Amino acid sequence: MSTEEKETLLESNDLAQTRGGFCHPTGTGYKYMILFIVSLICFGSYFAYDEIENLETELNQALGIDHIKFGLLYSVYSIPNTVLVFFGGLLGDKIGLRLAGLIFVTLVLIGSVLTALGPQLAGKYISPKSAFYLTIVGRTVFGSGSESLNAIQTSMTSRWFAGSTSLAFAMGLVLSMSRLGDYLALALAAPIASAVGNFRWVLWIGCVLCGISFMSVLLYGFFDKIAEKHFPNRQKEDNALNFKAVLRFDPRFWLVAIVCMCYYGGIFPFVAVCSDFLVTQYHFDTKPAGYYSAAITLASMVLSPLLGKFLDIVGRRPFFVLLGSACVIPAHIVLALKLPYPIIPIIVIGLSFSIVPSALWPSIPLLVKDSELATAFGTMAAIQNSGLAIINYGAGHIIQNWGYHWGMYFFAMMDGIGLIFAILLVLVDRAKGGQLTAVVGKKSNDAAVPSSLGSSPPAINDTEQF
């Protein structure tokens, strides 16, 4: 798009906002209403995913299973998503985000209901064994929609904020709301079950929250459809399911995806064992150990929008990915050496976990065509899930056989691999013009997205969402 075309588009958008006002579909109020709706789309699924973690004893008794079979409730969710989320992204680009989001959130809602029905019917209407199989089916259906819904949610955010001065802030806010669901599940599942005297209530609360997610997708579709006619620059071509699209992705996309996989490979498995690590290695009581473990997620939940807004202002995304990747390595080494005051490295990990995602995910809309955003986010999630499936197994094997000492070194090694690719990301971005370093959303910024991508350039101001 030429400079003259950009100026014409700027003038038309400014005129539309002036005529329509704050709550017009081209106005700021409308955009942030959409953001609030989108932020609720995965809130329920994040809660439903982890609602069972602190209910293992109760579920094992109700379903007549052991620890290994309980682990299957997570495996049937994760393993299919090494592939399914990629096709979910492709489908989102083919049929549109509204319809794809409705399909996936429906699977999430149905899966959460089936998951709750298993323990509810066990021993009363069906045998515990049959109830376990019903719960497995529920978690499988739930998982087949949940990760793809996450990719669609991220694409929705990008559609409305890509190129604006608030993209990273918007993505950070959406991520915070999703992680709030995760945090509430971990923090409240056991207390709710204890207070009402029946753990099954927690599972039905998860269903209600997934119902809210379902309604949020419907609301997004309604308001997005209303706004559509006000954005003539929105792409409308009917895209075929193009499996070759990934071959056209910028090399920096693959670096971002690998950094994401390696970095999360050092974070997520650590968060999963952090509480037990503090209990066994530092002799913490169970309750404070759980609080410290949850502090990592809590820090990310609180700081992500703030850091996102900061990155919107200063740019420099690859450098902050590099910074966050670098500071987490010594934190894991300190824990490996069992040095005093473990809360300090845990705080550092929490800060890093806020910085890196805030810089990584908003980089994708700067590298990929608008019409292939869902495919890109689905591909990135598939790479992440595939890597985590292997890394989680490797971490568990090392901790089981050689202890937490070597487990922490394993996490530091994953951090180090991520750091290497973060350095490559900085160098490649600099060699290709520094698009990821630039501050987008400014009229003078013509290089925020390479013109060779063939997509609409970033918004010249906050009113150009599409």
Residue pair 102/221 in contact (Cβ under 8 Å)? The answer is: yes
Between 335 and 191, residue with greater pLDDT:
335
Between 296 and 256, residue with greater pLDDT:
256
Provide mean pLDDT across the span 408-424.
94
Residue pair 111/141 in contact (Cβ under 8 Å)? The answer is: yes
User: ∠ CA 135-138-142 to the nearest 5 degrees?
Assistant: 140
Alpha-carbon radius of gyration of the chain: 22
pLDDT of residue 259: 94
pLDDT of residue 451: 33
Provide mean pLDDT across the span 52-71.
80
Please determine, for residue 220, whether its predicted confidence score (pLDDT) is greater than 60: yes
For 201, half-sphere exposure in the C-beta direction (CA atoms, 13 angstrom radius) is 11
**Looking at 111-115, 243-247, 412-416, which range is the least confident one?**
243-247
Nearest Cα to 153, choosing from 87, 68, 216, 202? 216
pLDDT tens figures, 6-17? 444 444 444 444
| Distance between CA atoms of residues 133 and 64, nearest Å | 11
Nearest Cα to 301, choosing from 161, 184, 206? 184
pLDDT of residue 454: 36
Confidence of residue 431 (pLDDT cuts 50, 70, 90): very high
pLDDT of residue 22: 58
Question: Per residue in 151-188, is it b (16+ CB within 10 Å) or e — as a string?
Answer: bbbbbbbbbbbbbbbbbbbbbbbbbbbbbbbbbbbbbb
Please determine, for residue 154, whether its predicted confidence score (pLDDT) is greater than 50: yes
The mean of the pLDDT values for the chain is 82
Please determine, for residue 162, whether its predicted confidence score (pLDDT) is greater than 70: yes
- Other C-beta atoms closer than 10 Å to the C-beta of 22 total 10
DSSP assignment of 7-20 equals HHHHHHHHHHHHHH
pLDDT of residue 309: 87
* Coil, helix or strand at residue 323: helix
C-alpha dihedral over 264, 270, 273, 276, to 10 degrees? -160
Residue pair 230/385 in contact (Cβ under 8 Å)? The answer is: no
- Strand-pairing partners, residue 122, are 126
- Using a 10 angstrom Cβ sphere, with 0-12 exposed, 13-18 middle and 19 or more buried, the burial of residue 384 is buried
Token pair 């399914």 in the structure block, residue: 84
Q: Any idea how long the chain is?
A: 466
| Distance between CA atoms of residues 100 and 253, nearest Å | 23
**Looking at 26-30, 266-270, 299-303, 446-450, which range is the least confident one?**
446-450
pLDDT of residue 150: 93
All domains of the chain in start order, with CATH? 13-229 (1.20.1250.20), 246-466 (1.20.1250.20)
pLDDT of residue 12: 44
Q: Could you tell me what percent of the chain has a pLDDT over 70? A: 86
Distances (CA, A) of 175 to 171, 178, 251: 6, 5, 25
Please determine, for residue 61, whether its predicted confidence score (pLDDT) is greater than 90: no
**Looking at 24-28, 38-42, 236-240, which range is the least confident one?**
236-240
* pTM strictly above 0.85: no
Provide mean pLDDT across the span 11-34.
63
Please determine, for residue 77, whether its predicted confidence score (pLDDT) is greater than 90: no
Question: Per residue in 250-282, is it b (16+ CB within 10 Å) or e — as a string?
Answer: bebbbbbbbbbbbbbbbbbbbbbbbbbbbbebe
| Distance between CA atoms of residues 285 and 288, nearest Å | 6
Question: CB-based contacts of 456: which residues, under 8 Å, 6+ apart?
Answer: 1, 163, 233, 234, 235, 370, 466
pLDDT tens figures, 362-415? 888 888 887 788 889 989 989 988 888 888 888 888 888 898 899 999 999 999
pLDDT of residue 243: 67
pLDDT of residue 448: 36
Between 272 and 382, residue with greater pLDDT:
382
Please determine, for residue 330, whether its predicted confidence score (pLDDT) is greater than 90: yes
